Every structure is written in structure tokens, then in C-alpha cells.
């Protein structure tokens, strides 16, 4: 939902910007065809799994004190018709057509558009009892719909009751008790939320998730403090047991077919573990609904555990989080003793590089030193990609119109676009966005791998792959949109300011920068938002409020020209333009 619209100010074509155009410092490389093979099972809410329980477990308890961004729209990333002007965004009448771009020109190629190739690949259709469609495929879910657990979250109900926000939406627009501290009003809200939805839980995925979220938060609120403190370690113990089982390949060894299970004896033999100890280790997971214990002496997958297999996107995300949250937590006190009690500035000398004993490296330099690790990261990104909305916020109509008017101009530059998965989503949602008007910029090491993966992907055939270091330069000038999704949060204010300044130098007067990120709102923010911000600390990054984005933009010579909020999550697209 767009809060603020400011499409003015494009003014005359900026002759100095045009005059500053330079030849790209890198060659544009046109992708060869390939197939998307990211076997990413769509995330199923582990909390919901735990809360829903299993008839064959011994009363699984929900993961204690787990967290959720709130239960909202169930399939944001699958919104089929984003062209609806739901956000009130209109193409600015006053925008000048840019001068003919010499640099930033679209690459000539045959643009074979094959929308419809985006059906998510589901690797275990037999385990589709949690929110999947009848054909076993699962609608991609927003993070709100798939994130685990409760506590301090925005709920769908809040969104439904809220008037459409006209300004920065925050707790002020929410019904009483929908967010904020766990005071009596909030407890009442949670109790009402459970009552409202409990009758529908079997029938409706969203109601089920909402109820589970509210129930867990309520339980957390009434838990006696010592129990609450111990519950933190319950979650840590789940993480610990999963780590061990991942390293023993337990999740890959348990059969994944519908109705299949394995005896502990067979499992122990296959993973070379002592049977009695394996059983004991598994209690931590079957008691919390991660695995399913079956009497007498068998174990089976749940929709949660199946995602923890090697090569699954969620399994990769789990490993990344183990390093960035669990391992980093062990060295944080020493880190702050070394660098001072202040926000890490980065991009180097951040907690993750300190942990690795390579403090002089940036996070992505660290990753890129190890090809396996970068693959792990790219797989994990597929989870992040699906758990937050990509399309459906920004009204693309003016971009498509303008791109159509000048087919030689680059329309879409995805800065830090990784393996092109976001460009793919946009191209499939907006077939008018031509491949030869799209460019994906990323580090050369990342693009090497990305281009290989994209070779047979119709949606990416014909796009440009442009190696860059965005800390130093953004070489393509004068494109319509410079899109940064999940880039800002990786960096501190000074570092992100430099990135934006480099982009600002590339802008034509009517160009826009789109930053697609969570917007922090409320103090304290909802717990999932707070968690994401805390997790970014390990990279020297941070989540930001709209005001903080405005400050960074101003320092980079830009201004916030629009805000487009997702209706169900704190995710938004913040639009920047050159300062007037």
C-alpha cells in the first residue's frame, strides 16, 4: 500500500547526468539459456506444524517462544495480477522522457517471454498436509505466513481492521492491543484472536496460523519468568539437535515418501550412531514436532524436518543462521570488547569476519572464499526470497509504459540481483518487462555461478549480467529503475550511503531507485522484525525505519519519493529520486 506519492520533480532531463554518462566499465554479457532447478520446498510454518501436532506423536509441544512476523497474506509472492492499481501509484505526467541513453541501452536480443514457468518446484508433494494445494504444489507464502511462532507480531486481523494507511503505517493505525507491549489490552487482543479463529482452524490455513501465533504469544506472556528464561534454551536445544542431525545426515536418511517411516534401529545403523543415544537425541525434535515419533520405535518426517535435508533451501538457511546467529553470539562480547560498544560499521571488521578469524574481510568476501559456502548462501536466499513479498507493492505501470516508449533504454537494473531470481519474478508477473531491458548486477564470482544456473531459464534469457562492486561504482547509467532488494539491510548507514551515492551518480532525472526491505515501525518493533534486525548485526547491517531510510537517502543526494507497503507484512518498497 502506497503511503506517499511524489512523482513530481523529474523536471528537465539532467544535462549533467546525461553528460556524465560513460561507457560501462564492464561488458554486458547476454545470458545463455538454462533451466531453473532450485528445488526449494515452500516453507511450511513450523509453528503451525508444532501447534497442529500429529496424531502419532506423544503430544508435541510448540517450539517454545518462537517468533513470527505475523500471519498475514498467505501468498503474496503469487499475486497474479499486480497491475491492479491497488497502491494508487500513477505514472507521473510531468516526467520527461530521458535523453537517448547511450549507456544503459538495452541489449539487443531475442526476447522469448514465457510467463508461467514460475511454478514453484515442490520436492515432497506427499507431505502436503500443511497449506499445500491439492496437486501437492504449495503457494509461495509470505514470510508472515510462514515464519514460526508468536510474540509481539502483527496479525492479519490488524491489517483487516486497519484503515488503509495514508501515512507511515505504524502501531497508531492498529486496533488496540494489536501490537506493542504485553499489557492487559494486548493479552485481551490475543485471547480474542484465538476465540475468533479457533472454529476455523481446521478449514483455513490463515486462521490456523493466526490462532497458533496468538496462542503461542499468549502462552509466552503468561509464562512465569524463570520458565520463560529456560524456554529460550529450549529453542537453542532444538537448534543444537538439528545441527547434530544435519551433520549425521539423519534428515536425508529418514524416508520421505507418504506414510513412510524408519525404525530407530535401522536409522542408527545407517547413520552409524548408537541406537539408544539416537533415540534420546531425537526426543528434542519429536517433542517439539520437528520429527514424528511412531510407536513402537519408529520415526518419520514432518513437513518441517523434510526441509532440513541437505540441499534444501531451508536447510541451507538454517546453516547460515547457525553461523550468523548462534556462532556469532558466542563471540559478540569479545567483538565489542575489541571494537567498542557501538554499531559495527563494516563492511569489514564485522562479527562474522571476526568469528572467522578474518576481520579484514567483508561478509561477501568471506562467503566468496568458499564456493560451497556461496552455494549455500544462494540456496538460502531462495528462502528469504519466498518468505517476503517481491511483487504486488510497487505499481509498475509507469515503468512499463516508459520502457515501451523507449525500447532501447534499460528499464530494470537489479543491483545485487544474485542469480536473477527477482528479475525472474518480475518478468513473469509483468510480461511487458522485456528481458533485453533488464540487467542483473552482482559480484563477478556470483554472476559466474548465476549465469550457469540461468542458462536454460526462459525468463532470464536475454537479460544482461553485469559484474560490479557496488561499493565502488554502478556502471550502467540512465536506466529507469535501480532495484535493491535485501541489500540495504546488509550494511551500516555510512556503507549504504556510499552504495546509494554510487547509484545516484548513474541516475537520469526520471530514474528511480527502489529499495525493497522490511520497514521497522514501532518501538519496540514486532519480535520478528527485531529478530531480523538483530541477525543483521552479525554482518554489520541493520533494518531501518522509513525515517532512517530518508536520512541515508539525503546523505546520498536522494530523496524519498514514495513508499509502497505490503498489506500483510512490514515489507515495503521505498522509492528514491534525485534531490531537486
Ligand X SMILES: C[S@@+](CC[C@H](N)C(=O)[O-])C[C@H]1O[C@@H](n2cnc3c(N)ncnc32)[C@H](O)[C@@H]1O
Residues binding ligand X (CB under 6 A) = 364, 381, 385, 416-418, 422, 442-443, 446, 468-471, 485-487, 490
Phi, psi of 457 (to 5 degrees): -95, 115
Provide, rounded to whole angstroms, the least separation between the CB of residue 473 and ligand X.
9
Cβ distance 503 to 476 under 8 Å?
Answer: no
Judged by beta carbon, residue 411 or residue 443, the one nearer ligand X is: 443
d(CA 60, CA 46): 12
Provide, rounded to whole angstroms, the least separation between the CB of residue 470 and ligand X.
4
Judged by beta carbon, residue 25 or residue 579, the one nearer ligand X is: 25
Provide, rounded to whole angstroms, the least separation between the CB of residue 244 and ligand X.
28
Judged by beta carbon, residue 282 or residue 390, the one nearer ligand X is: 390
Provide, rounded to whole angstroms, the least separation between the CB of residue 350 and ligand X.
13
d(CA 69, CA 152): 8
Cell 509507469: give the residue. Answer: 398
DSSP 395-419: --HHHHHHHHH-TTB--EEEET-TT
Other beta carbons within 10 Å of 83: 13
List of residues 6+ apart from 364 with CB closer than 8 A: 443
Judged by beta carbon, residue 468 or residue 508, the one nearer ligand X is: 468
Provide, rounded to whole angstroms, the least separation between the CB of residue 376 and ligand X.
13
Provide, rounded to whole angstroms, the least separation between the CB of residue 220 and ligand X.
30
Which residue, among 107, 102, 100, has the nearest Cα to 22 in the 3D structure?
Answer: 102
Provide, rounded to whole angstroms, the least separation between the CB of residue 63 and ligand X.
26
d(CA 128, CA 578): 48
Provide, rounded to whole angstroms, the least separation between the CB of residue 511 and ligand X.
18
Judged by beta carbon, residue 130 or residue 485, the one nearer ligand X is: 485
Output DSSP code: residue 272. Answer: T
- Three-state secondary structure call for residue 262: strand
Provide, rounded to whole angstroms, the least separation between the CB of residue 355 and ligand X.
18
Sheet of 571-578, strands arranged across: 2-5, 558-565, 571-578, 512-518, 481-485, 412-415, 438-442, 464-467, 29-30
Judged by beta carbon, residue 170 or residue 416, the one nearer ligand X is: 416
Phi, psi of 438 (to 5 degrees): -115, 145
Judged by beta carbon, residue 182 or residue 384, the one nearer ligand X is: 384
98: left (phi over 0), alpha (psi -120 to 50) or beta: beta
Judged by beta carbon, residue 273 or residue 504, the one nearer ligand X is: 504
Provide, rounded to whole angstroms, the least separation between the CB of residue 314 and ligand X.
15
Phi, psi of 112 (to 5 degrees): -90, 110
Phi, psi of 243 (to 5 degrees): -60, -45
Query: What grid cell was written down for 396?
Result: 509498475
- Backbone Cα Rg of the chain: 24
Provide, rounded to whole angstroms, the least separation between the CB of residue 565 and ligand X.
17
Judged by beta carbon, residue 25 or residue 166, the one nearer ligand X is: 25
Judged by beta carbon, residue 301 or residue 385, the one nearer ligand X is: 385
Judged by beta carbon, residue 70 or residue 416, the one nearer ligand X is: 416
Provide, rounded to whole angstroms, the least separation between the CB of residue 430 and ligand X.
17
Judged by beta carbon, residue 189 or residue 426, the one nearer ligand X is: 426
Angle at 319 between CA 420 and CA 459, to 5 degrees: 15
Kindly list the distances between the CA atom of residue 551 and the CA atoms of 352, 544, 556, 560, in Å, as whole numbers in the listed order. 27, 10, 9, 9
The residue nearest ligand X at its CB is 416
Kindly list the distances between the CA atom of residue 412 and the CA atoms of 8, 30, 290, 569, in Å, as whole numbers in the listed order. 20, 15, 41, 25
Judged by beta carbon, residue 26 or residue 469, the one nearer ligand X is: 469
Provide, rounded to whole angstroms, the least separation between the CB of residue 443 and ligand X.
5
d(CA 29, CA 549): 33
Phi, psi of 404 (to 5 degrees): -70, -40
List of residues 6+ apart from 100 with CB closer than 8 A: 406, 408, 409
Provide, rounded to whole angstroms, the least separation between the CB of residue 556 and ligand X.
16
Question: In DSSP terms, which residues pair with 484 in a beta bridge?
Answer: 515
List of residues 6+ apart from 463 with CB closer than 8 A: 30, 31, 107, 420, 423, 435, 436, 438, 439, 440
Judged by beta carbon, residue 248 or residue 491, the one nearer ligand X is: 491
Amino acid at each position: 500500500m502506497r503511503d506517499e506519492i511524489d512523482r513530481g520533480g523529474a523536471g528537465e532531463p539532467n544535462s549533467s547526468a546525461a553528460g556524465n554518462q560513460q561507457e560501462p566499465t564492464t561488458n554486458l554479457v547476454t545470458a545463455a539459456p538454462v533451466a531453473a532447478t532450485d528445488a526449494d520446498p515452500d516453507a511450511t510454518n513450523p509453528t503451525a506444524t508444532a501447534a497442529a501436532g500429529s496424531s502419532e506423536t506423544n503430544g508435541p509441544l510448540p517450539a517454545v517462544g518462537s517468533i513470527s512476523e505475523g500471519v498475514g497474506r498467505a501468498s503474496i509472492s503469487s499475486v497474479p495480477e499486480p497491475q491492479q492499481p491497488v497502491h494508487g501509484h500513477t505514472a507521473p505526467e510531468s516526467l520527461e522522457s530521458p535523453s537517448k541513453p547511450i549507456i544503459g541501452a538495452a541489449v539487443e536480443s531475442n526476447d522469448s517471454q514465457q510467463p508461467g514457468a514460475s511454478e514453484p518446484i515442490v520436492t515432497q508433494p506427499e507431505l502436503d498436509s500443511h497449506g499445500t494445494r491439492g496437486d501437492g504444489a504449495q503457494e509461495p507464502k509470505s514470510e508472515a505466513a510462514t515464519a514460526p511462532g508468536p510474540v509481539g507480531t502483527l496479525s492479519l486481523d490488524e491489517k483487516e481492521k486497519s484503515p488503509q494507511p495514508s501515512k507511515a503505517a505504524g502501531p497508531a493505525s492498529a486496533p488496540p492491543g494489536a501490537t506493542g507491549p504485553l499489557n492487559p489490552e494486548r493479552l485481551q487482543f490475543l485471547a480474542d484472536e484465538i476465540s475468533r479463529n479457533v472454529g476455523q482452524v481446521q478449514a483455513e490455513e490463515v486462521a490456523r496460523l493466526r490462532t497458533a501465533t496468538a496462542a503461542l504469544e499468549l502462552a509466552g506472556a503468561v509464562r512465569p519468568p524463570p520458565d520463560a528464561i529456560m524456554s529460550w534454551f529450549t529453542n537453542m536445544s532444538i537448534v543444537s539437535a538439528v545441527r547434530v542431525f544435519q551433520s549425521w545426515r539423519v534428515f536425508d536418511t529418514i524416508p520421505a515418501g507418504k506414510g513412510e517411516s524408519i525404525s530407530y534401529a535401522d536409522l542408527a545403523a545407517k547413520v552409524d550412531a548408537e541406537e539408544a543415544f539416537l533415540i534420546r537425541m531425537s526426543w528434542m525434535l519429536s517433542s517439539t514436532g520437528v520429527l514424528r515419533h511412531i510407536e513402537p520405535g519408529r520415526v518419520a518426517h514432518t513437513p518441517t524436518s523434510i526441509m532440513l535435508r541437505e540441499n534444501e533451501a531451508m536447510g541451507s538457511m538454517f546453516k547460515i543462521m547457525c553461523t550468523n546467529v548462534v556462532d556469532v553470539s558466542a563471540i559478540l562480547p569479545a567483538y565489542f570488547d575489541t571494537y567498542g560498544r557501538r554499531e559495527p560499521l563494516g563492511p569489514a571488521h564485522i562479527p562474522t569476519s571476526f568469528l572467522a578469524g578474518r576481520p579484514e574481510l567483508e561478509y561477501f568476501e568471506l562467503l566468496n572464499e568458499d564456493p560451497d559456502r556461496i552455494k549455500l548462501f544462494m540456496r538460502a536466499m531462495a528462502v528469504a526470497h519466498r518468505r517476503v513479498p517481491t511483487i504486488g507493492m510497487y505499481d509498475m505501470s509507469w515503468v512499463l509504459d516508459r520502457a515501451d516508449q523507449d525500447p532501447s533504454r534499460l528499464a530494470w537494473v537489479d543491483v545485487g540481483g544474485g542469480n536473477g531470481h527477482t528479475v525472474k519474478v518480475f518478468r513473469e508477473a509483468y510480461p511487458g518487462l522485456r528481458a533485453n531491458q533488464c540487467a542483473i548486477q552482482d559480484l563477478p564470482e556470483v554472476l559466474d555461478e548465476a549465469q550457469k544456473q540461468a542458462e536454460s531459464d526462459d525468463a532470464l534469457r536475454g537479460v544482461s549480467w553485469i559484474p560490479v562492486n557496488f561499493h565502488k561504482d554502478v556502471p550502467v547509467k540512465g536506466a529507469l529503475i535501480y532495484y535493491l532488494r535485501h541489500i540495504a539491510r546488509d550494511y551500516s548507514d555510512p556503507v549504504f550511503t556510499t552504495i546509494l551515492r554510487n547509484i545516484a551518480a548513474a541516475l537520469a532525472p526520471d530514474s528511480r531507485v527502489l529499495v525493497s526491505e522490511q520497514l521497522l515501525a514501532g518501538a519496540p518493533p514486532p519480535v520478528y522484525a527485531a529478530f531480523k534486525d538483530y541477525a543483521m548485526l552479525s554482518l554489520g547491517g541493520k533494518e531501518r525505519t522509513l525515517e532512517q531510510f530518508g536520512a541515508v537517502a539525503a546523505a546520498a543526494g536522494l530523496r524519498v519519493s514514495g513508499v509502497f507497503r505490503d498489506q500483510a507484512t512490514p515489507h515495503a518498497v521505498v522509492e528514491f529520486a534525485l534531490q531537486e
